[in-house]
Structure 1
Amino acid sequence: MEAHRLALSSLITLSFFLAILPPSYCTDYARFVNCSRPYECGRIKNVSYPFWGGNRPESCGRQGFKLECYNDEYPIIKFEELEFLILNINQAQNNMTIARLDLWSGSCPQTYLDTVLNYSFFDYAPTVLNITLFYGCPPQVNKSIPVQNRFTCLEGSDANNNAYFVNESSAKIHILEPEKCRGKIRVPISRNAIIDESAGVVHALNESLNQGFDVDYNPLHDTACNGCVRSGGNCGSKETHQFVCFCRDGERSYSCPGNNMYSLFSSHFPGLG
């Protein structure tokens, strides 16, 4: 009989708590759980705010930081028309190493697009060196380029498939009529990725492109996010892109309260917390 009264009392208390919980409790708790999951793709693991994608909803990150998984190997981030493979992310330093997807399997893209970033959130690191690739150049242009800077792109039956590259250190090379080339693109590489032609210019160029280049991203909301995490919450964004801290019992502007309704609820019903 005593056990029956205890069970009835617990049921009444539980009903009371459920009645006074805010309507958004379940939704906010789901966001707390969702944003506690790190993003993972291939060798890139444990990625959190400001990045989102995969099993992390948009509310778990920031605008401009959406990731997609490429062949279960690398995450991809998109800037305008170009997609970039993410080779490494250092969240402690707010930077990452990326490489152009269209140049990943070779230095001859189908379309000629300069490398661009979303400069509202990203910028090139000091370790970056720019090179310019020229494609479809006529013979008079090709003859003015040092042999070690030339390579060939296969374009079917088109005989005009001469190509070459120049970097910042070779910019003083006198190039005859480069505007007569079919196209050109500007591509960043790492200054440490020295193009060594001893193994062949095409191989060396591809190796340099595949090493990628470093970009820094805007540490906006880092202080707020650190405070949110220390308080037991998970960082995210509202539909207005404003920072929000997801707590077990709902959302807060910056941090989770120490003695909140969730704590009180869990103390009465530890099996449900």
Structure 2
Amino acid sequence: MQRHLFPTNSWFIIFLIIIFVHAPSSASADDDERYLSCMKSFDCGNIKGVGYPLSGSDRPDYCGYPGFELGCSNQDPEITIMQLSYKLLGINNQSRTLNVSRTDYTENLCPTLLSNTSLNPNLLSSTSDHAEVTLYYGCPSPSPAGFSAQFTCNINDTGMMGYFTTVNLSVLSMSAPSLISYPTACNNSVKVPAHLSAIMPNLPDPNVAQLLEAISQGFELEWSANDSLCDTCKSSGGQCGYNQTTTSHFSPSLEMQHHLFPTMSWFIIFLIKTFVHAPSSAFANDDERYVNCSNSFDCGDIKGVGYPFWGSNRPDYCGYPELKLDCSDQDLEITIEKLTYKVLGIDNQTRTLSVARTDYAENICPTLILNTTWIPNLLNYTSDDQNITIYYGCPTQGAPTSTALPQFPCNINATEMTGYFTAFANLSDLGSSASNLTSYLASCKDSIKVPVRESAFQQILSTPTAAQLLGGLNQGFGLKWKASNNFCDTCQSSGGKCGYNQTTTAFTCYCKDQPQQFSCQQSPTDAQSPTNDQSSKPKICPPPTYTEAGSFLIEN
């Protein structure tokens, strides 16, 4: 409070500054915060000195393009592109290229989720050293002669034989018709890029180990992110960045004026110390993290969202890593274990999210058939949630006629199939027909569980139709979070802002002057206590494994 105790001296100092300096107010300001932040580089493992258009770690999101945020996992830099995670193998700023490899194909050809490689064409494009490998999963046996090799997968506890070829099927004149028709009988196909130079050795003698090695060497992507504007910015002494509000390039410029008056600056400092005798912190701004975590996330009808969530103008240190929010067409969204959910509501009193799967927004035939998963010790179902089991790819012969197992048609990836769903967790409750139903459903290709609210569950039980199921899914379900809740209550009651320390992977209380462990009014005992809230840290369990077998095809 010292600066309020000397009003006469304060006015005197202001008078002297005006008389001696005659400089604009910005002349004695610090460098722009964004300029300083965007000067920092991203370092992880062997990849160092990463700048624009990439952000992450010490580089806030405004230092890079949306979709170009990097993470560091066990000293491996990673980037997520269109919800797929890639290991960053190298960056070439001269050619403006990234070398990346899909993390889900690190160890084998059988990833948990079968997802195509997709890019934002306005930001990323393939280079000339590019080949696409098409892998086919769940293929019938035996295969045509052209499929000379095979691999097996274990996906969803279903073992299948698969086959692959490294030859473009369309160039095979004699056997092409049968080879082209064969892959259509496979359940799924996935395109995975690789360096053409790495794929070439596979062509004469197809080999699974060589293919996996080629995929692990990654592929090259060229970025386009207002590069000429960035060159102009840097040549003028600025730092390149991206304005999240105007969705355009901006350049945090260096404020040079205060370097032009070094003698006068020292004279002003002398006057301040002489007349006010205040500690330097008396004039300092509030801690940047405290200020940033005071911001709330607003999107559409949902406003005022704070801890444990982050995103937009709330940096990642304001919330748990897994609880990032996005705003898509004024719809609040969250991605949990690679599945995107629309956030229907947030209740801070009960600490619950109301969410609905976006892939079931319009029909019950999503492109990817994925189970709903959550994060134990961080997100869990509420007591109001009930599961519906949906079966896909069921045989037409021996189809049941039970009203407890309604049928629906699906067209997924241009494949017509028959599906069923049931609200009965235990089919034995259906009596004498249970055995036949269980046997029949075991022959379906896929089954998943999707949660709904109890009220919707009861409506589906009474009126088991596909329309009723879709309506229930869009009403969403509840997820209760546990994110050091007691610590956050203590922090907020002491005037602090709750956050998360990415380095120590523990809760942090951001105070006006500096971060504390739990409270802005800590006692010496508290200050010395270790941050060891292991029970509140999320423990991410590995996703369930499932199997299929496949084929792959190279296309230049």
TM range (shorter): 0.7 to 0.9
- Choose the corresponding residue for 2:477, options 213, 223, 226: 213
Measure the CA separation in 2 of the matches of 1:187 and 1:20: 57
Identify the residue that residue 500 of structure 2 maps to in structure 1: 237
**What secondary structure is seen at the aligned counterpart in 2 of 1:37?**
coil
1:60-118 residue CA offsets vs partner (Å, 9 max, x unmatched): 112321111232122x2222221222111111111111111211221111122111101
> What TM-score does the superposition give when structure 2 sets the normalisation length?
0.41
Corresponding position of 1:97? 354
Instruction: Give 1:6's aligned residue.
Output: 12
Alpha-carbon offset, residue 52 of structure 1 = 0.8
The CA distance in 2 between the partners of 1:192 and 1:90, in whole Å, is 19
1:133-187 deviation digits (Å, cap 9, x = unpaired): 011211235334438711111348745x211101136723431421222211111
1:164 maps to what in 2?
A: 420
Q: Quick one: which amino acid aligns to residue 33 of structure 1?
A: V
TM-score normalised to structure 1 length: 0.79
Higher mean Cα deviation, 46-55 or 150-159? 150-159
Q: Distance in 1 between matches of 2:295 and 2:441?
A: 51
Look up the match of 1:222: 485
Which range moves more in the overlay, 202-211 or 222-231? 222-231
Task: Give structure 2 stretches of 5+ with no counterpart.
Answer: 1-7, 18-267, 523-556
Kept in 1, the 8 Å contact 2:499–2:508? The answer is yes
Equivalent positions of 1:1-273 (< 5 A) are: 6-7=12-13, 8=16, 12-13=271-272, 20-21=280-281, 29-74=287-332, 76-146=333-403, 149-155=406-412, 158-159=415-416, 161-168=417-424, 171-172=427-428, 173=430, 174=434, 175=437, 176-193=439-456, 194-196=458-460, 201-218=465-482, 220-239=483-502, 240-257=504-521
Contact 1:39–1:56 under 8 Å retained in 2: yes
The CA distance in 2 between the partners of 1:205 and 1:17, in whole Å, is: 71
Q: Secondary structure of 1:224's match?
A: helix
CA distance in 2, matches of 1:178, 1:18: 77
Larger radius of gyration: 2
SS of residue paired to 2:411? coil
- Is the CA contact 1:141–1:177 (under 8 Å) kept in the aligned structure 2? yes
* Between 240-249 and 11-20, the greater mean CA deviation after superposition: 11-20
Percent identical across equivalent pairs? 30
Quote the Cα distance in structure 2 between the aligned partners of 1:5 and 1:42.
Answer: 46
After superposition, the Cα gap between the structure-2 partners of 1:167 and 1:141, relative to the gap in structure 1 and judged at 3 Å, is farther
* Deviation of the 1:192 alpha carbon: 0.7
Amino acid at match of 1:164: Y
Measure the CA separation in 1 of the matches of 2:361 and 2:471.
9
Q: Retained in 2: the 8 A contact 1:129–1:168?
A: no
- SS of 1:229's partner is helix
Following superposition, the deviation at residue 17 of structure 1 comes to 7.5
1:271 corresponds to = none
Corresponding letter in the other structure for 1:88: G
Q: Give the deviation of 1:13 after TM superposition.
A: 2.5
Whether the aligned pair in 2 keeps the contact of 1:141 and 1:178 (CA below 8 Å) is no
- Distance change >3 Å, CA 50–CA 155, structure 1 → 2: closer
| Preserved contact between residue 135 and residue 163 of structure 1 (Cα < 8 Å) | yes
Cα separation, 2, equivalents of 1:185 and 1:196: 17
Number of residues paired by the alignment? 251
Over aligned residue pairs, what C-alpha RMSD do you find? Answer: 3.2
Q: C-alpha distance in 2, partners of 1:149/1:17?
A: 80
Contact 2:390 2:448 in 1 (8 A): yes
Mapped contact 2:395–2:444 kept (Cα < 8 A): yes
- 1:14 offset after TM fit, Å? 6.4
Letter in 1 for 2:495: G
Q: d(CA) in 1 for partners of 2:349 and 2:414?
A: 50
- Match of 2:488, SS state, is helix
